[in-house]
Amino acid sequence: MRYGYFDDANREYVITTPETPSPWINYSGNQEFFSLISNTAGGYCFYKDARLRRITRYRYNNVPVDSGGRYFYIREENGEFWSPTWAPVRKKLDRYECRHGLGYTRIYGEKGDIGGEVLIFVPQDFNGEVHKVTISNKGSQTRNIRLFSFIEWCLWNAYDDMTNFQRNFSTGEVEIENNTIYHKTEYRERRNHYAFYSANTDVAGFDSDRYEFIGRYNGFDAPQAVVEGKSRNSVADGWSPIASHSFDIMLQPGEQKVIVFVLGYVENDPDDKWEAYNVINKKKAKKMIERFADPKQVDEALEELKQYWDGLLSRYVLDSSDEKLNRMVNIWNQYQCMVTFNMSRSASYFESGIGRGMGFRDSNQDILGFVHQIPHRARERILDLAATQLEDGGAYHQYQPLTKKGNNEIGGNFNDDPLWLILSTAAYIKETGDFNILEEMVPYDNDPSKAANLFDHLRRSFYHVVNNLGPHGLPLIGRADWNDCLNLNCFSTEPDESFQTTESKDGKVAESVLIAGMFVYIGNEYVRICENIGEYEEAKAAKEHIRKMKENILKYGYDGEWFLRAYNDFGEKVGSKENEEGKIFIETQGFCVMAGVGVETGEAQKALDSAWKYLDTEHGMVLVNPAYTRYHVELGEISSYPPGYKENAGIFCHNNPWIMCAETVLGRGDKAFELYRKICPAYREEISDVHRMEPYVYSQMIAGKDARRHGEAKNSWLTGTAAWNFVAISQFILGIKPDYHGLVIDPCIPKSWDGYRVTRYFRGAVYDITISNPNHVSKGIRSLTVDGKEFIGNVLPIFGDGKVHKVEVVMG
C-alpha cells in the first residue's frame, strides 16, 4: 500500500493523505539555518545547532505525535475552523496534498469552498523560514474568513527548555511592533540573538502568550482564541512565549489572497544590541522582512533554490530503463546525502537534536556521499573533524557544530574513528585532485598550539591502529568500533550506565576484525596518498603493516566459512560458529571482502555466500544471526535490544551496501543489485504500510526476521546508509569511480541489463558515458572509446577543459 507517489519531473514526493504511518518529513536549509517539516507542517527550526540555538518548540514522543509546528487556522463565518495542513486541528479535509521537494514543502488543504496552501522553506543565504500562505475561494459566494497563525518559541537551549522550568517559566520576553513579534528571551543578559515572526499584511490582532492564545486546558487543535475568533493581543511575560497573528480576509468568488510570513533569526553585534533602553535593535530583522515583502520575491527565492539543486544534482545523472533506480540515484539518494552532511545524526524525528552533535565517524562517512556535489564544503568539514582529533591519533567521538569543539562528555576511544578520516580525505582528493589539503595546518584537540598538517593527522590515524594491536595482532576495539553496541570492554550491570562510555576493562584484549578489515581497505588509500606526494618510505612501511594485518585476518579472523567479528575481553571469539547465538555478523563479511582479503584464496566468496545463507531476508540482510536472546555482559548493548531490532539482528541498512560493494569485488553484479533493491526505499514504496517510514529516503534500520514487526523501518533520514548506498550504486555497481588521476570505469551490474548512461561532472569537464552490455555480462570491459577514439584501459583522463566528452563503453 502507498500513501502517495513520486513526481520525478518536479523532484517531489507527493503525499496524498495526512495520516501516514508516521510523520513523513522533509528538511529545508543548506547553510546555517535548518528546518524539519512534516507532511502536516509539524517540526521545528534552528540556527546551526539543534541543541544550543533551537528557535521553535517541538514535542518529541508526544501524544498525538508530531506536536509543534507552523500552524494555521482558518475560521469560517459560522465559527468552524480547520487547518489547511490538517494538523493541528485534524478536521477531515475534502482535499489534501503534501509535496515534499528539495528543500521545500508545499501543503494544500481544501474544505468546502475554501482552499489553503502553505509553502514552507528556508531561502538560500537566509537565516529564517518563509511561509507563503495562499487562501482561495473556490465557491460562488463572497467569503469572510479569519486566519490565525501560530508558532511557539523555544528558549534557545533545547535541553534547558525541556527541563529547567523553575527558571524558564520566568524568563520569557517579547517585543511587538506592527506585524512582527520579536522573541528576545535572555537578550538583556548574555545573548546577542533574537528571533521574530512577521507577516507582510496588517493584522487584526496578535498573541504572544501561549496561555492567552490557547487557553489553559485546550490543545493546539482548539486554541481558545480561535474558538472564539478573537486574538487577545497578549504580551508574554515569562511562561511560554509564542507568536500568533490574526487576519480578516474577504474573498470574492474565485479570488485568492497571499500572506507571507518570515520566521527569522538575527545575531547582533554586542556593541550595537539596542536601539533604545532595553529595546532590541531590529535593523537586521527589518531587512529580512523587507526581502520578502512581496510574494513575488518568495517565488523568486524558491526558483533560486530549485536552480541550486539543479546544479548539485547535475553532477551525477543516470539514465537507465529503471525509473525507480533513476529517481533514487538522481534525486533522493543525493538529496539525503546532503541532509546527512548538514545534520549528521543531530536532528530528525528520531534524533532529538539534543544528544549528539556531529559524530566523527558519521560525518566522515557522510562526506563519501556528497563530496561530488559540494567539494569545498567537504574540505571544510574534513578540517573541522581533523581539529577534534587527539594527539595520539584517536578522536573525540562527537563535536558540537556551534563551537566545533570535541564533546568531553563522550570523549574518544572508539578505535575505528581515526580511520574514517583517511577515507573521507581520500574521497575528497579523488574528487578534486586537491592534494594541497594535506598541507593545511590543523590543531589537535582544538588547540592551535598543537597544530600539524593534515597529512600528519592521517599518519597518526593510521598508526593509531598500528600502535593499538591486541594479542592476535588485530586492532584493539576500545569502547566500540563502527558497531556502537558491541561494547567489549564495558561489562555493565547497572541499568543507568551508558554502554558507550562505561569501561570496566583495561581494553588490552578485545579485538575487532572489522577495524582490521577497515585498516586494510582504508590503509591502502593511505598508501596511495603517500605515494602521490612522494612519501615513498612511509608508503613502504604502511604496506608492510597492511600485509601483516591481512595475514592476521586470515589466520585469526576467519572461522572456516566467514570472517569472525571480534575477540572479547576473555580472548574468546565473537561471531563464530562456536558461539551459541551471534554466530555470524555482516560487517566483517562486507569490509574484509571490499578490502580484498581472501579474494584470491576463496575465503571471500565463502564469506559472502554465508552472508546470503544466514543473514539474508526478503527485506535485506540482518546484522547478526542468530539474534541474541539474552543479555551478554561481555558483549554489551547489542544484546540489550530485543531480537530483530537495531544492532541485535535488525537489518541495519548502513552495512548492507558494504555487502553490495563486496559482491562487485567478486564480480557478482546480480547479487549486488538484488540487495540494493531490497533495502532501497523507492522499491519498498509499494509496501509502505509495512515499511512505514518515508519511501523517498533510507532509514537506519528495518526490523529483522526475529522481530514481530519484520520489515518495519525506523530512524529515517540521518544515517550513513545514505552515503554508503550512493557509493555502492554510483561507484561500485554503475561503476563510475573518481580516482586520484582520473575517472575509473568499472561497472558490475545484473547480467540482464542492456546498458545505461551516466553523465558525470568531474574536475572541470563532463563525461557523457554510455555503457552497453550486448553479451549480458556482469563485469568486464571489451572496448572503450573517448570522443570516438579507441581508448586503452579504463581510467579516463582529466580533461578539465569545460567540455563534454563522449565515452562509449562496451562490456563483455
Q: What type of residue is 343?
A: M
The one among 366, 484, 535, 663 contacting ligand GLC by CB under 6 A: 484
3-state secondary structure 355-388: CCCEEHHHHHHHHHHHCCCCHHHHHHHHHHHHCC
Cβ at position 455, least distance to ligand GLC in Å: 26
Binding to ligand GLC by residue 359, rule CB under 6 A? Answer: yes
User: Which residue in 670, 690, 674 sits closest to 617, CA to CA?
Assistant: 674
Rounded to an integer, what distance in angstroms lies between the CA atom of residue 32 and that of residue 36? 13
User: Which residue's CB is nearer to ligand GLC, number 66 or number 484?
Assistant: 484
Q: How far is the CB of 116 from ligand GLC (least distance, A)?
A: 38
**Nearest residue by C-beta to ligand GLC?**
484
Which range binds ligand GLC by CB under 6 A, 14-22, 269-277, 357-365, 605-613?
A: 357-365
Q: Minimum CB separation from ligand GLC for residue 638, in Å?
A: 8
Nearest residue (CB) to ligand GLC, 90 versus 632: 632
Nearer to ligand GLC, 37 or 485 (CB): 485
Q: Does 51 bind ligand GLC (CB under 6 A)?
A: no
- Secondary-structure breakdown of the chain: helix, strand, coil percentages, each rounded to the nearest 5: 30, 30, 40
**Contact status: 336 vs ligand GLC (CB under 6 A):** no
Does 351 help bind ligand GLC (rule: CB under 6 A)? no
Asked if residue 345 binds ligand GLC (CB under 6 A), the reply is yes
| DSSP output for 191-247 | --EEEEEEESS--SEEEEEHHHHH-TT--TTS-HHHHHT----B--BSS-EEEEEEE
CA 592 to chain centre: 26
Q: Give me the torsion for CA of 589, 594, 600, 605, rounded to 10°.
A: 40
Residues 499-538 that bind ligand GLC (CB under 6 A): 500
Dist. CA 358–CA 356, nearest whole Å? 6
* Interface of this chain with ligand GLC, residues 572 to 611, rule: CB under 6 A: none
Tell the smallest beta-carbon distance from residue 395 to ligand GLC (Å).
Answer: 12
Contact set for ligand GLC, span 630-669 (CB under 6 A): 637, 646-647
- Which C-beta is closer to ligand GLC: that of 231 or that of 483? 483
How far apart are CB 726 and ligand GLC at their closest, in Å? 16
Q: Which is nearer to ligand GLC, 200 or 719 (CB)?
A: 719
Complex with ligand GLC: residue 500 or 759, whichever CB lies closer: 500
Question: Is 417 a binder of ligand GLC (CB under 6 A)?
Answer: no
* Per-residue interface string for the shown chain with ligand GLC, residues 293-332, x marking contact by CB under 6 A: ----------------------------------------
The answer to the question of residue 485 lying near ligand GLC (CB under 6 A) is yes
449-to-274, 401, 442, 444, 460 alpha-carbon distances in Å: 37, 21, 10, 8, 17
Tracing cell 511557539 back to the chain, one arrives at 152
Q: How many angstroms from the chain centroid is the CA of residue 699?
A: 10
Cell 553523465, located at residue: 759
Residue among 210, 361, 479, 691 that touches ligand GLC (CB under 6 A)? 361
Q: Which amino acid is at 761?
A: Y
- Of residues 89 and 624, the one with the C-beta less far from ligand GLC: 624
Least spacing, CB of residue 359 vs ligand GLC, in Å = 5
Nearest approach, Cβ of 510 to ligand GLC (angstroms)? 16
Residue (of 779, 784, 781) closest to 750 by Cα position: 779
Helix 417-432 with 360-370: angle, nearest 10 deg? 20
Q: Which of 38, 180, 334, 483: binder of ligand GLC (CB under 6 A)?
A: 483
Output DSSP code: residue 91.
Answer: P
Contact range with ligand GLC by CB under 6 A, out of 10-18, 70-78, 401-409, 480-488: 480-488
Cell of 615: 543473514
Catalytic residue among 221, 417, 484, 616: 484
Q: Does 366 bind ligand GLC (CB under 6 A)?
A: no
Q: Rule CB under 6 A: is residue 482 a binding residue for ligand GLC?
A: yes
Binds ligand GLC (CB under 6 A): choice among 129, 173, 221, 362? 362
Closest CA to 617 of 710, 693, 699: 710
What are the grid coordinates assigned to 81, written together? 475552523
What is the DSSP annotation of 312-337?
A: HHTTEEEE-S-HHHHHIIIIIHHHHH
For ligand GLC, which is the closer residue by CB, 637 or 746? 637
Binding mask 751-790 for ligand GLC (x = CB under 6 A): ----------------------------------------
Q: Per CB under 6 A, which region of 118-126, 369-377, 478-486, 797-805 contacts ligand GLC?
A: 478-486
Which of the stretches 100-108, 147-155, 162-170, 481-489 binds ligand GLC when contact is defined by CB under 6 A? 481-489
Q: What is the DSSP string of 552-564?
A: HHHHHSB-SSSB-
Of the listed pieces 290-298, 355-363, 666-674, 773-781, which binds ligand GLC according to CB under 6 A? 355-363
Please report how close the Cβ of residue 635 comes to ligand GLC at its closest, in angstroms. Answer: 13
484 is catalytic: yes
Judged by CB, which is closer to ligand GLC: 37, or 410?
Answer: 410
**Which has the closest alpha carbon to 387: 421, 357, 410?**
421
Helix (H/G/I), strand (E/B), else coil: 52: coil
- Binding-site string for ligand GLC from residue 681 to residue 720, where x marks contact by CB under 6 A and - marks none: -------------------x------------------x-
- Binding-site residue total for ligand GLC (CB under 6 A)? 14
Cell of 160: 534547558
> Which of these segments, 93-101, 283-291, 354-362, 466-474, binds ligand GLC (CB under 6 A)?
354-362
Options 267-275, 476-484, 578-586, 765-773: segment touching ligand GLC (CB under 6 A): 476-484
* Shortest Å distance, C-beta 362 to ligand GLC: 5
Q: Which is nearer to ligand GLC, 168 or 407 (CB)?
A: 407
Burial status of residue 800 (CB atoms within 10 A of its CB: 0-12, 13-18, 19 or more): exposed
Q: How far apart are CA 628 and CA 579, in angstroms?
A: 11
Residue-by-residue DSSP string for 107-151? EEEEETTEEEEEEEE--TT-SEEEEEEEEEE-SSS-EEEEEEEEE
Select 484 or 569, whichever has its Cβ closest to ligand GLC.
484
Radius of gyration of the chain (CA): 28
Structure-block grid coordinates of residue 109:
488543504
Please give the angle made by the CA atoms of 295, 298 and 304, to the nearest 5 degrees. 150
**Would you give the DSSP letter of residue 24?**
-
Pairing of strands 713-716, 279-280: unpaired
Which is closer to ligand GLC, CB of 486 or CB of 529? 486
Could you give the residue numbers annotated as active site? 484
Binding site residues, ligand GLC, CB under 6 A: 345, 359, 361-362, 482-485, 500, 637, 646-647, 700, 719
